[in-house]
Structure 1
């Protein structure tokens, strides 16, 4: 029995373990997050415990570690539910902005999309409630380090859970909104774009709020404003990226040989350039594929080279003299569409940047890899 290949790792960093068959990675930016958040947490740690000096820094660091443990559990919840629904997580990553979970593919249904999204914030809200109950039960005296950690766990988990439920991409609430619109319209593209635009509104709202609170006398300092603006910028970038990704995916789904290829005719390897030109003109096409004696597509006519041959010499110029050889296997199935066609193209274009489309063994088109990429990005 063969062993399945491990998920492909795409993020650089330190692997600290594996969960659900996927690596847990600390990205280099995570260290910056720990340093900055620890410094920002010192005033709160001092106010909650009355400590000072190095001790208050240790408590502040404990706040940050507790926060990232909560973020890690949030991401693991995404991964476990996704795996149960048929989506294999590829990696769990802790970064400057918290964390993310990468999957091998998109959710197959709106229900899976919503369930995978909502379980993360649900875990944080459950943790926040647990810490809150422990506070209410007075399991630790007020002002102690344990009490401060419980307070930090309740507040940070509550904030992370509620913030992630905001209905805009790239937040989890945006994934839920995406799933709802997808289910109603039947279009994943429509759901993603709608949730992306709402995400842009959420990002703009965060920035406006950050600038308005100090002006309105609601407190806050320059550092708070800068941090909120950075978060808003991150959310805007994530929402915009989701919209661009949806458009690219829509283009992928619409890819056919007819939409990205050039119709072509075939001639024999012993034919002249003049004959090839007349066959192409009669069919109303510009591309010509040269067949080998066994009928295999062996080359294609280079238009620029053919145009450089004087008309009076075309009748005596072998078509192979102005052709580019095609390796064996530089063909795709012309009946495929969308992602399946792109996978076949990826295989064939490793052999040649120009490939031939075949339908029932008959040449129908020439496809240029650069033109296919341009069509997807358009």
Structure 2
């Protein structure tokens, strides 16, 4: 008995050759590929989360609060401590990861006939947000050191007249933080366009001393939005809680496009429980910064093919390094030795997340062994 061919799916033509986003998820001893915090929540954090979730579970027959004011107030309080910027709860928005926050922004301010701009290399999901919202996508180029030239950025904005500009600081995959002067130059330019400027600060808690947050500019620039996440500094990648700080008017625009009840009662309870332990959770960030700086210094002393490594300056919890004639061979060699890092960024470069001291040692040993074998 023959089965008739299934009819072709009426897929949007621009999606026909696309593949789902995702880094490899492999079961190896040392996972340093997706910029996770390597330290699991402590028993007291877990206990608080379990207590709050148990309370929320007793109300699961009811929908959660659509606008989650208590969580927004907690996040505003956290930012006042972390960055010294006081915001009202109404200036905060949250969603299932900063990915959904970004999608809300493109749904509200992008769309057919509109353009979004960023500067490559940068986070590989940005063009997907644009694609999914039928927003035209344009990229300028970063300089050799992965910085953004303010004059070139302003020229691109004036030529393309975008409605959304995405600036990652620190940038993924390079780790580069943007000087406030560069962000101000872009913000001054969009006042004439106009456009929403999104500064993606997913890794902001890892920035080096003296590197300011774009949150400090919010009171002067109503078209600015600053996004954050609890995935990295709060060791809560599995929670999926991202958030944004902006003017009340901008936040209200996002409320129009969000799905009803998009943050579950369990997510809200877990996030608020984690925020109660912010002091202990953020204490680990200082350790990870120190581990990162030591890793950068070590990589700068290494050589490949007789040349010292190139190592990008980083204010994040990862390091971009290279360059390799065949980076895939190096990536594969590390994987064979039980260490998974990320094959991303410009040709020849690799990115490694900052792990525990034990994980860093395993990475160093594996990398030296791979290079030695490659050069024999």
Fold shared, TM-score > 0.5 on shorter chain = no
TM-score, with length taken from structure 2? 0.23
Larger Rg: 1
- Looking at both structures, which has the greater relative contact order when contacts are Cα pairs under 8 Å and sequence separation is at least 6? 2
Structure showing the higher helix proportion among its residues: 1
